Structure 1
Amino acid sequence: MTRESERQGRSLAWTGPDARARSASRALKSLVPVSLRGYRLAWLGPDIIAGLTLSAVAIPEVMGYTSITQTPIVTGLYTLLLPLVAFILIGSSRLLVVGGDSAAAAILAAGLVVAAVPGVVAGSSRWVALCALTALLTGVLLLLARLFRLGFLGDFLSASVLIGFLSGIGIKVATDQIPDILGVEKGAGNWFEKQWAWMSALGDVSLPTLAYGLGTVGIIVFCKVVIPRVPGAMLAIVWLLVLATLTDAAGRGVPVVGPIEGGLPHLGLPDGITIAEVGAVASTALSCFFIVIAQSAATSRSFAMKHGDRVDVNRDILGLAVANIAAGVSGTVVVNGSPTKTQILDDAKGRTQVANLVVVAITLVVLLFLTDLLAELPLAVLGGVVFVIAVGLVDARGLWRIARRRRAEFFVALLTMFAVFAVGIIEGIVLAIALSLLDVISRQYTAPAFVLAVGTSDYDYLPAVPGVQSSPGLIVYRFDSQLFFANSTGYSDRLEKVIAAAPDRVHWVILDCAGIADVDYSAGQSLADLITSLHARDIHVVLARPEPALLETLRRYALMSRIDPAHIYSDLDVAIAAFDGSARTTTDEERTR
């Protein structure tokens, strides 16, 4: 057979029935959402049960969150419809539950109050339009984050700062529900003024309203402690709704939800939005963007690692972006990945996003057929549901662990928590980001420096303090950080002190560059001054283990002309051996003289 015929045979085999079948199989597989690929029929039963369990918790929760965002109750249900479907289709996480979230709701409400768009009153149709606009802008910011692969931004909120931030959200949201539970008017002003307002109105407490509020809290707590598999929030809503309907709670002065517009959401961009309004809510969208990135990325990553799944944070960001855009065009609020609802899904043995499809289906049934039944639901019941959720956000155990293990970070967490509930949520998230960045900078600024003690069999890194040396005439100096404008002076100063106090006159300084991947311009200038100063004292400067990228950076700064190319070593042992050889040569020359 000729080579040509062999090629034709291979071509026919490639385009034969088996190849076409494989190609069709790959095309079909590409249509399956990433979060559902590799699905097994054995998972269907557990997923359906987990979805039913999650629905019993998620639906009351998102209804309650509307008391935070001050939007119609139906907007809470909408967060479990198109946004959740969008994430299922686009995201990669098998378990992350996307929908209304207390932290995002609190940021949204606080931000819109600060924005103070003229003529817009909380709860009005224009207010709802601004909420939808904020969700759209948040989605756009998330799209940009995906485009530029900015998933790492979520890592800029340290665990201690995030614990403090969410605990502050919990305190604020929980205390905001107290007037609804008591049946008194909500106060105005800052957090302290609002607390004084309901405390001053204790004489006007509505006992029937208080009974519904405390009853809700009691049922939920009882279920959590005694029968944790029973969804206490759903149980409280069903029982107390029946009781309120039978006893005509509204007629007895108990504030109730009232008529709820059911059906599917109206799709489209928010009506009548102006450029000025876009600018007014932009900072709120940015705040929501950061909490969505931080909270959702941490949640999807932790649950994926728990089950040995692959983590694709950037894909999840894309899913969250589309979910928030879906929220915006369906007239609801910002959605987020929920740690609590994801934990519920995991505890219920849910395996994939099929469980969340069950939640979508049940939410659809509620919207189409059951909204009229909710009209007599007391607002105190929703307030009680949100109160318990918010108290759960206050991570007392996490704060205690931080206090025991790292006192400085504990005070940072407390400061963040206090800023969130006492000053403002927007200010709190700005402070949280600032404190996290300052923490990164401080760690780089105070990065440890070492001097390598050359022993007979092994090396030992010692703190770079005056009086240490690697061997007579040699200092091997290591700094475990990038060099930048803030720490470059400290890098040089510590080395100068070690040289000045060395027991023997220093002839060689080997800069171990294994911990330095980059040098900024300011640090480059400082390093040039250091090399010039050492050369002036007849001290050879040697580079050991520099990365090629670092050498290229030093070339751009014209630093390589100051260092003998023969004094650049890729291996630290070779550099030290070169010094030993040089020292022996010097000793022999001195003996000859």
Structure 2
Amino acid sequence: MPGLNILFNYEKQWFADDAKAALSVTAVALPVAIAYAQLTGVNAVVGLYSCVLPMIIYALFGTSKQLIVGPDAATCAVIAAVVTPLAAGDSVKHWQLVITMTAMTGFWCVIASRFKLGVLADFLSKPILMGLLNGVAITIIVSQFSKIFGFTFDEKYLLERLGGVPAYISQAHVPTLLMALFTVSVYFVMKRLKPTFPASMFAIALGAISVWFFNLGQFDVKTIGIVDGGLPLFQAPEFNVGIIRELVMPALNLAIVSFVSMMLTARSFAAKNSYDIDADKEFMALGMANFASALSQGFAVSGADSRTAVNDANGGKTQLVSIMAAIIIAIIAIFLTAPLEYIPSAALGVVLIIASVHLLDLKAVWRLRLKDRQAFYLTLVTLLAVLFIGVIPGITLAVLLGLFQFIRTVMRPTDNILGVDINGTVRSLDTSDKAKAVDGIFIYRFNSPLTYFNSSFFKRRLLEQYARQKEDIDCVIIDAVPCFTHLDLSVMAMLADLDIIFRKRGVRLEIAGRKRQLLAWFAKAEIKSGIEGIYVHSDLYLALRKNQRQHNAAQKELSDETTNEQEYTNEAIIAL
């Protein structure tokens, strides 16, 4: 528990800033948690449960000092997309499926941490994650139209819903729409007058007061209804265990997306405040936070960028902010839930739309078109997949795109032909002519780890580049550092074939770098080394020096032979 070290060495002067930040985080977290509970399809108090224990657990297990965990728009949208069809309208079953999926997400995170898979933070590239979050944001915005206008969508998918919007708007419930407009007005007025105040909380609170004071229920203005507070009671799932199979892959997708999103937030604030975070421990922290949420009957959580930003802006120094905010939310969830029943659904819809708008960054997507066309296409495909085929298939496609992008890079990497500049430094040969090829030596670098699925490409590229050389080549040297990273018998067999090919052409095949590893691998693969096979040097400069000495010696021997022949010819002429 890395957080314990900070808490045990806590400095008194930090407390004032942490207390102020905790109050601000609570003010932002309360309305968002209730709104995300509605998005997930569970009771409002579940959103509060999803804040308390996860925030405390992350404070103990996490390595970020500013990160606040809690309900997240993308996470809740994923859960709702998976669980709603399986629950088939049964609210109890829906809640239990949400809890089960949350626990499974925590399980995947802990397993990933155990196998040190924190590198998955870099697995989903920024363009893919950008497309995913924009797609989820648009999906949430459209889904909340029903709460704002007072109707219910009959369609399941986004395109069908968009197609039916004109007909639905004609059925709009005027009092509900007026409540939504009132909430929007309060929100933006508060943002204008007091930018640092929690505008969402004020907007929802005034909406609830209006419902209670003016008895707006008589006008069919829907509210979230009775909220049963108190301590959460653990319930064992009562649905068919076979349904769990339907949750395995979605939970894995959710774990990856939640972790990548959380790490983007955690790393940005860690860099801003000049400290480092441990990706593997963050995976463990996220897993334990999700276990805690499931144990307290809550839903999956992730890093909350908006609440983290509020924490940092108010000077939060340590994770004591999370603990204090969690205690305040726990008191509300246990003792003060009665006023929550007056919160209008339209106000929650407005809060969700505002939160989703902050996720939208379509300008950044369009700018990618000029910066990196390939990244732009990846973002666009992911965005359209989420919109057209759904959140879960879109996330699956995003993960596959990230995998295929990596495989494509590894399978077909760049390569270089190397030479030496006037200072004796090895560098790539290019149009600048700063480096020149070494006489009689061809130096090749392959910019990717060699493995079974790119060894044939390596062989083809090496022979192609060798064939383009106009001068006679006595020796081919392969730079081993970037490409020979692990033992692969397919790669060893390919090297043996190359050695035979070059020997038939009277060319030596040599490898520079990783000498100890390569000799051990050659022994396992039964490949000869040294004079009888492939010679392995400690590094590229030693290989060049040895070959240049041999080349110079050969040139000197040839020069001596030429001189001797010339002297013999001169003597013969004199004798004649």
TM-score, structure 1 normalization: 0.89
Supply the distance in 1 between the matched residues of 2:158 and 2:28 (Cα, whole angstroms).
29
Aligned match of 2:478: 511
Supply the distance in 2 between the matched residues of 1:395 and 1:59 (Cα, whole angstroms).
25
Tell me the SS of whatever aligns to 1:255. Answer: coil
Shift of 1:447: 2.1
Asked if 1:537 corresponds to 2:505, the answer is: yes
Aligned match of 1:112: 83
Aligned match of 1:22: none
Aligned match of 2:419: 453
Find runs of 4+ consecutive structure 1 residues off by over 6 angstroms.
none
- 1:288 equivalent among 233, 239, 254: 254
- 1:556 equivalent among 521, 524, 546: 524
Aligned match of 2:540: 572
Confirm or deny: 8 A CA contact 2:499 2:533 kept in the other structure. Answer: no
Confirm or deny: 8 A CA contact 2:515 2:536 kept in the other structure. Answer: no
Kindly provide the CA deviation profile for residues 44-85 of structure 1, in whole angstroms up to 9, marking residues without a partner as x: 111111111111111100100122211111111111112222
Shift of 1:560: 4.1
Aligned match of 1:316: 282
Kindly provide the CA deviation profile for residues 131-154 of structure 1, in whole angstroms up to 9, marking residues without a partner as x: 111111111112211222122222
Aligned match of 1:367: 333
Asked if 1:521 corresponds to 2:489, the answer is: yes
Q: Call closer, same or farther: CA 1:516–1:32 in 2, change over 3 Å.
A: closer
Aligned match of 1:88: 59
Amino acid at match of 1:580: Q
- 2:405 equivalent among 425, 432, 439: 439
Aligned match of 1:136: 103
Kindly provide the CA deviation profile for residues 243-281 of structure 1, in whole angstroms up to 9, marking residues without a partner as x: 12112111111111111111111135x332442122222
Kindly provide the CA deviation profile for residues 87-123 of structure 1, in whole angstroms up to 9, marking residues without a partner as x: 222222222211111111111111123xx43xx3346
Amino acid at match of 1:195: L
Supply the distance in 2 between the matched residues of 1:304 and 1:535 (Cα, whole angstroms).
55
Supply the distance in 1 between the matched residues of 2:411 and 2:28 (Cα, whole angstroms).
46
Asked if 1:305 corresponds to 2:271, the answer is: yes
Mapping of residues 122-521 of structure 1, within 5 Å: 122=89, 124-224=91-191, 227-268=194-235, 270-459=236-425, 461-462=427-428, 470-518=437-485, 520-521=488-489
Supply the distance in 1 between the matched residues of 2:12 and 2:490 (Cα, whole angstroms).
60
Aligned match of 1:100: 71
Q: Percent identity?
A: 27
Q: Call closer, same or farther: CA 1:32–1:157 in 2, change over 3 Å.
A: closer
Supply the distance in 1 between the matched residues of 2:2 and 2:498 (Cα, whole angstroms).
60
Confirm or deny: 8 A CA contact 1:35 1:88 kept in the other structure. Answer: no
Confirm or deny: 8 A CA contact 1:154 1:293 kept in the other structure. Answer: yes
Aligned match of 2:569: none
Confirm or deny: 8 A CA contact 2:138 2:356 kept in the other structure. Answer: yes
CA RMSD across the alignment: 2.4
Confirm or deny: 8 A CA contact 1:250 1:376 kept in the other structure. Answer: no
Confirm or deny: 8 A CA contact 1:98 1:335 kept in the other structure. Answer: yes
Supply the distance in 2 between the matched residues of 1:260 and 1:63 (Cα, whole angstroms).
11
Give the stretch that moved more between structures: 210-219 or 329-338: 210-219
Confirm or deny: 8 A CA contact 1:104 1:292 kept in the other structure. Answer: yes
Q: Call closer, same or farther: CA 1:576–1:441 in 2, change over 3 Å.
A: same
Aligned match of 2:570: none
Amino acid at match of 2:18: D
Tell me the SS of whatever aligns to 1:490. Answer: helix
Aligned match of 1:19: none
Tell me the SS of whatever aligns to 2:144. Answer: helix
Tell me the SS of whatever aligns to 2:225. Answer: coil
Supply the distance in 2 between the matched residues of 1:486 and 1:179 (Cα, whole angstroms).
51
Kindly provide the CA deviation profile for residues 341-392 of structure 1, in whole angstroms up to 9, marking residues without a partner as x: 2122111211111111221122122223321112121100001000111111
Tell me the SS of whatever aligns to 2:418. Answer: strand
Supply the distance in 2 between the matched residues of 1:35 and 1:282 (Cα, whole angstroms).
36
Confirm or deny: 8 A CA contact 2:499 2:534 kept in the other structure. Answer: no
Confirm or deny: 8 A CA contact 1:217 1:388 kept in the other structure. Answer: no
Supply the distance in 2 between the matched residues of 1:556 and 1:314 (Cα, whole angstroms).
33
Q: Call closer, same or farther: CA 1:32–1:338 in 2, change over 3 Å.
A: closer
Supply the distance in 2 between the matched residues of 1:271 and 1:567 (Cα, whole angstroms).
64
Amino acid at match of 1:82: L
Q: Call closer, same or farther: CA 1:340–1:401 in 2, change over 3 Å.
A: farther
Give the stretch that moved more between structures: 560-569 or 298-307: 560-569
Q: What residue ranges of structure 2 are gaps of 5+ in the alignment? A: 563-576
Q: Call closer, same or farther: CA 1:562–1:173 in 2, change over 3 Å.
A: farther
- Give the aligned length: 558
- 1:584 equivalent among 552, 558, 561: 552
Supply the distance in 1 between the matched residues of 2:12 and 2:533 (Cα, whole angstroms).
65
Kindly provide the CA deviation profile for residues 125-177 of structure 1, in whole angstroms up to 9, marking residues without a partner as x: 11101111111111111221122212222221111111111111111111110
Shift of 1:462: 3.3
Amino acid at match of 2:161: K
Confirm or deny: 8 A CA contact 2:511 2:535 kept in the other structure. Answer: yes
Q: Call closer, same or farther: CA 1:338–1:564 in 2, change over 3 Å.
A: farther
